Amino acid sequence: MEKFNCLIIEDEPLAAEVLQDYISQIPFLEYAGTCRDGIYAMQVLQKEKIDVMFLDIHLPKIKGLDFLRTLKNPPQVIVTTAYRDYAIDGYDLNVVDYLLKPIHFNRFLTAVNKLRSQSPQISATPLTMAVNTEQAHILININKKKIKIGLHDILYIESKKEYISIVTTEKSYITKCSLSEMEMLLPKEKFLRIHRSFIVGKERITAFTSVAAEISGKSLPIGRSYRDLVQQILSK
């Protein structure tokens, strides 16, 4: 099983302990250590192979996001903070997820399930789906046939329990995959999760309110836990 070496960058001992405990409960995560500030973390990154950083924003000496900006080839980053105000900055830096303290285990699990595979092939759905962002399409298996779907044709994707429905400008496709797996594979600059059951193409949104987004005449709900971040991103 592929494992991600995880470094916690956190100056609050209790918060660091919670993250360490959560990491220990996930089979594909490996705890690599804790740093109280970015300066110490930089030394660790130079000496060890780190795949994921759990990065607090309010750190001594240098703020977390400022530290991240200094790294030429940073590992994957999950931001941890008590403040919502930095969410847009975090996503501009291509962070995997943004966890608000106090962090609950189910939300932590959702975040780490977004981590991108380190292997050349996508391990999350090896027989079901592949994404080629350079050629801007996804490839899915339906009834033993491979179907190519252009990313620019996707209106939205809806969860159907263990399946998803990919709704395009022409038709809909059903394939076996979780919405979280799909979210992990899609480019963040083009797609946005607005609800536990919906991912939408950003450019396909024609109107939105605090509770819904309209795409091709259809109103899709914006989940309560997603509203603040969705409003910030769509209002840019």
Report the percent of the chain where pLDDT is more than 70.
Answer: 86
Q: Are residues 144 and 196 in the same domain?
A: yes
C-alpha distances in angstroms, 83 versus 76, 108, 123, 228, 234? 20, 16, 33, 12, 20
In 3D space, the residue among 228, 219, 152, 225 whose CA is nearest the CA of residue 191 turns out to be 152
95 pLDDT more than 90:
no
222 pLDDT more than 50:
yes
78 pLDDT more than 60:
yes
117 pLDDT more than 50:
yes
Q: Are residues 86 and 149 in the same domain?
A: no
Report the percent of the chain where pLDDT is more than 90.
Answer: 50
Rounded Cα distance between 206 and 212, Å, is: 11
Q: Are residues 83 and 148 in the same domain?
A: no
| pLDDT confidence of residue 93 | 72
- Structural domain contains residue 117: no
Q: Are residues 8 and 96 in the same domain?
A: yes
Domain holding 141, by residue range, is: 129-234
- Confidence band (pLDDT; 50, 70, 90) for 146? confident
Q: Tell me, what CATH number does 104's domain have?
A: 3.40.50.2300
Q: Are residues 133 and 212 in the same domain?
A: yes
- Token pair 């900055």 is found at 89
